[in-house]
Amino acid sequence: MAKVAIVLGEDFEDSEFDTPRSALVDAGHDVVVVGVEKGAEVVGKRGEVRQRVDAEVDEIDLRDIDALVIPGGYSPDHLRTDEGIVRFVKDIVEWGTTVAAICDAGSLLIEADVVAGRTLTSWPSIRTDLVNAGAAWMDSEVVLDGNLITSRNPDDLPAFTNAVLGALRSGSQHGKGAA
């Protein structure tokens, strides 16, 4: 099956990590949690989910990743200050791999400079940031634009998760980009 990376830092939105991860694992996919420090335990902002980081970005070969999931919460804001994570996100988007970002995860896409000319959705508080970075913003439960899948909030998790699983089923997770 597919190998899916999930970038994760402290204060992630618990359900936005746990719901897609569980669905991916249940579908037989290999999930690797990528973060700033391998072995570190990160805790969701609601304190409901604790997760160990499986790997740092330097341990991941982009060619091995079939999709990247970026949960929201405060995690993307913490991760956007890490040059390695930002470079990883930029490279994987440019490689053409499916990237799924929910809620505040668009802030990490902005930092990676990959939103200009794209149509996305997000948590409303980063709408202006996305538009200022050159994206068109839609108020929709899921927006598909090329290799980017975006959703607004935990209420959108069924559509978000189905879009990620659909991309993996269709084999459309890789484009013709170059890292």
Give the pLDDT confidence score for residue 174 in this predicted structure: 52
Q: Are 6 and 20 in contact (CB under 8 A)?
A: yes
The two tokens of residue 10 are 């402290």
C-alpha 56/C-alpha 79 separation (Å) is 12
DSSP string spanning 111-128? HTT--TT-EE---GGGHH
Residue pLDDT, tens place only, 138-167 = 999 999 999 999 999 999 999 999 999 999
* Distance in angstroms between the alpha carbons of the first and the last residue of the chain: 23
| Residue of 103, 126, 133, 135 marked active site | 103
Does residue 20 surpass a pLDDT of 60?
yes
Quick check: is 103 catalytic?
A: yes
Percentage of residues in the chain having pLDDT higher than 90: 94
Q: Are 13 and 94 in contact (CB under 8 A)?
A: no
Backbone angles phi, psi at 123, to 5 degrees: -60, 140
Q: What homologous superfamily is domain 3-170 in, according to CATH?
A: Class I glutamine amidotransferase (GATase) domain (3.40.50.880)
Does residue 59 surpass a pLDDT of 90?
yes
Residue pLDDT, tens place only, 35-45 = 999 999 999 99
